Chains A and B, each alone.
Chain A
Amino acid sequence: MMIYLMCLILFCVGVYCILVKKNLIKIIIGIGIVEYAVNLFFVLVGYRVQGRAPILAQDQVIQNMVDPLPQALVLTAIVIGLAVTALIVAIAMRLYEKYGTFDITKIRKLRG
């Protein structure tokens, strides 16, 4: 319970960063932090007390493994995070090229 809450606090640090900061790179960092928090939450959900990693070993009967499904999902989520980061960094670099700054308050051609 406490550990879930700490994980969500990490989530909120990222959200705060996205909502308040005015620098493109800071926003990207905020997105990264939120991603970490969500991935960690998923793995926490599948953890089992005294559990073993879900990998079988030869000639050995292992009981009480942790849940493999969230791990598989988080693997997908990490890849999605990487893909998104690569694309958003590319866009941020193009914006820097066009405007000469990472400051979002100076990047304002659009009205609303």
Chain B
Amino acid sequence: MKTKEPGMTLIVKTITRLTVGLILLYGIYIVTHGHVSPGGGFAGGVIIALSFIHLMLAFGKDLALKKLSRGAASFFESFGAIMFLTIGLLGFIGGYFFFNFFSKGKPFNLFSAGIIPLCNIAICLKVGAGLFAVFVALILLEIPIRKE
């Protein structure tokens, strides 16, 4: 007789263990290659958030919160937002708000397109952390069953 573990069955847990890293990696790939292939900060951010949510659904909330605590999530969220705004403000170096002040690099390379990859990373931080925070808040909302 085992004590009841949080989360779903063994099959789900095993598969989750195998796939969650891949999902996270795929999200990071999508973010960093946003300027050369389809995807971008937003889609990648959602995928990264989904990988944590996946973890939470399979193993229960404690494990996922250990990997990424709520304080950290809200910190990353604000940090991503400030980073994006700062990139915009740094554009004043080139003369305009949101001016693409970085060197453009060689097309088709990972390090090209000036501020675009940086913006992607900022958005990814913001979106991933923000959506994770929303999801955790919704999960933790315990609704008492009421009898009228």
Interface presence of A5 (CB below 8 A): no
Q: CA–CA, A100 to B137, complex, Å?
A: 20
Nearest CB to that of B147 among chain A residues? A100
B143→A93 contact, CB < 8 A: yes
Please pick, from A56, A82, A100, the residue contacting B148 in the complex, using a CB distance under 8 A: A100
Task: Convert B113-148 into 0s and 1s, putting 1 for each residue whose CB lies closer than 8 angstroms to a CB of A.
Answer: 000000000000000000100100110010110101
**Assuming A86-B134, A93-B141, is B108 touching A58 (CB within 8 A)?**
yes
Number of interface residues of B (CB under 8 A): 15
Chain B residues near A94: list those with CB within 8 A: 141
Query: 26 A-B residue contacts at CB 8 Å?
Result: A53-B38, A55-B37, A55-B38, A56-B107, A58-B108, A75-B40, A75-B42, A79-B42, A82-B131, A86-B131, A86-B134, A86-B138, A89-B138, A90-B134, A90-B137, A90-B138, A93-B138, A93-B141, A93-B143, A94-B141, A96-B143, A97-B141, A97-B143, A97-B144, A100-B146, A100-B148
Residues in chain B within 8 A of chain A (CB atoms): 37-38, 40, 42, 107-108, 131, 134, 137-138, 141, 143-144, 146, 148
Residues in chain A within 8 A of chain B (CB atoms): 53, 55-56, 58, 75, 79, 82, 86, 89-90, 93-94, 96-97, 100
